[in-house]
């Protein structure tokens, strides 16, 4: 089988790229290791920047997002006693959209038949070959039968653990990584959120986040050791701890209910560069991971594939090599700024085992500065809504 662009991974980055290329008349093929049902079942956060919502509108895939998503014109930082509102609308003239990544994924998958996007689900043993040539290929198995997919380019949208980044020689790539000494213990429940906007809380017990998927479904997180045993955290213990960490104002508004999902997620900052080797291009989590504090993961994936699709389309339509050559540096410039913001918020809002009273007081002083400085709030707001493409 032959195609213009072979895309490994049917997460948001892979499917957005496939839709963009198909919209331009190109022939992409997507290979996904998991089943469609499995991909749809993955629960992820969903604070979408304007660049991401604009991209979904460009693909004519934004109707359900506009009908069911929640437009947020601000969010809060909490210091254990008071809420500090970051007024996005007043400070930047913009807003963000709360719409779950799983919903974005569903919209992308539902549009596959009508758009003529070819996806091979449950493609096992994916291996890349000759990526440093002009004729790369991918071998994989499906239902026990071996297949070969030939393409002019390969897009690695297969996440942190996928095969694409591993196909780049160690002598070519450089890895930058910060592994945080804690994770997020999350609880999802069908209860109304405690506030109309997200709350990021810094407390002596650790970080907490109050967020939502809709007006009737809430998602909460608390900082916890990565090796936390979920059996030791029944629902009531989590609700009690949230009420403490979010502070009396927000904590007093919590509606409790039975969890429908609980999990513990590690936090890391990770960047691999360059994002191109020969005919192979990386996008999304295959090239970078951000801690979720800054709400940048899906949005960075969307900006990556915006740059990549524009470059690929220019090459196929006009023979323009410059955009492909500049893809990695262009994407990385935005990635590193988003990494900085996510690192900053993570450092500001979490308790670190190595912190002394000095670092704790520095966090307090920074939060007090933010509360009383428009310039500080404007900087946070500018980064939160997303830097320009």
Active site residue 200: yes
Contact, 303 vs 290, CB < 8 A? no
Active site residue 296: yes
- Tell me the H-state helices in the chain: 12-23, 36-41, 50-58, 63-68, 88-92, 101-110, 112-115, 163-166, 235-245, 247-251, 297-318, 322-349, 357-372, 374-385
Active site residue 72: yes
How far apart (Å, rounded) are the C-alpha atoms in residues 258 and 242? 15
How far apart (Å, rounded) are the C-alpha atoms in residues 221 and 210? 7
Considering 292, 307, 327, 350, which one is annotated as catalytic? Answer: 292
Considering 72, 203, 277, 350, which one is annotated as catalytic? Answer: 72
Considering 296, 307, 327, 350, which one is annotated as catalytic? Answer: 296
Hey, is 181 helix, strand or coil?
Answer: strand
Hey, is 352 helix, strand or coil?
Answer: coil
Hey, is 34 helix, strand or coil?
Answer: coil
Contact, 6 vs 318, CB < 8 A? no
Question: Do β-strands 174-189 and 199-201 pair in parallel, antiparallel, or remain unpaired?
Answer: unpaired
Active site residue 82: no
Contact, 238 vs 140, CB < 8 A? no
Active site residue 292: yes
Considering 99, 200, 307, 327, which one is annotated as catalytic? Answer: 200
Rg (the chain; Cα; Å): 21
145 φ, ψ (degrees, to nearest 5): -105, 135
**HEC-encoded secondary structure of 358-385:** HHHHHHHHHHHHHHHCHHHHHHHHHHHH
Whole-number Cα distances in Å, 104 to 35, 70, 84, 172, 187: 17, 14, 30, 34, 21
Residues in the chain: 389
Q: Would you name the residues annotated as active-site residues?
A: 72, 200, 292, 296, 384
């Amino acid at each position: 089988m032959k195609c213009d662009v072979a895309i490994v991974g049917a997460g948001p980055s892979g499917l957005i790229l496939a839709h963009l290329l198909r919209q331009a008349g190109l022939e992409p093929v997507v290979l996904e290791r998991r089943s469609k049902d499995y991909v749809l079942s993955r629960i992820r956060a969903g604070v979408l920047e304007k660049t991401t919502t604009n991209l979904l509108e460009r693909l004519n895939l934004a109707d359900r997002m506009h009908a069911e998503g929640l437009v947020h014109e601000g969010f809060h930082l909490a210091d254990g006693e008071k809420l500090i509102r970051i007024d996005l609308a007043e400070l930047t003239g913009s807003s963000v959209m709360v719409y779950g990544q799983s919903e974005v994924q569903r919209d992308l998958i539902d549009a596959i038949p009508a758009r003529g996007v070819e996806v091979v689900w449950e493609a096992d043993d994916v291996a890349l070959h000759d990526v440093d040539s002009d004729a790369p290929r991918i071998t994989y198995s499906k239902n026990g039968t071996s297949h070969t997919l030939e393409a002019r380019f390969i897009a690695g949208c297969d996440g942190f653990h996928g095969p694409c980044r591993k196909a780049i020689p160690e002598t070519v790539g450089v890895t930058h990584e910060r592994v945080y000494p804690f994770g997020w213990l999350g609880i999802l429940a069908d209860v109304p959120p405690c506030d109309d906007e997200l709350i990021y809380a810094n407390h002596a017990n650790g970080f907490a986040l109050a967020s939502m998927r809709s007006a009737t479904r809430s998602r909460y997180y608390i900082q916890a050791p990565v090796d936390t045993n979920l059996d030791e955290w029944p629902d009531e213990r989590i609700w009690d701890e949230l009420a403490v960490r979010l502070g009396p104002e927000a904590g007093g508004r919590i509606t409790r209910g039975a969890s429908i999902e609980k999990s513990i997620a590690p936090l890391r900052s990770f960047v691999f560069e360059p994002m191109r080797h020969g005919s192979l291009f990386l996008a999304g989590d295959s090239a970078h991971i951000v801690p979720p504090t800054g709400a940048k993961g899906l949005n960075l994936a969307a900006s990556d594939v915006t740059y990549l699709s524009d470059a690929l389309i220019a090459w196929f339509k006009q023979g323009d090599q410059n955009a492909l050559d500049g893809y990695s540096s262009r994407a990385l410039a935005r990635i590193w700024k988003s990494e900085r913001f996510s690192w900053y918020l993570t450092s500001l809002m979490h308790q670190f085992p190595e912190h002394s009273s000095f670092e704790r007081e520095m966090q307090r002083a920074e939060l007090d500065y933010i509360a009383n400085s428009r310039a500080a709030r404007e900087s946070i707001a500018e980064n939160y809504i997303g830097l320009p493409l």
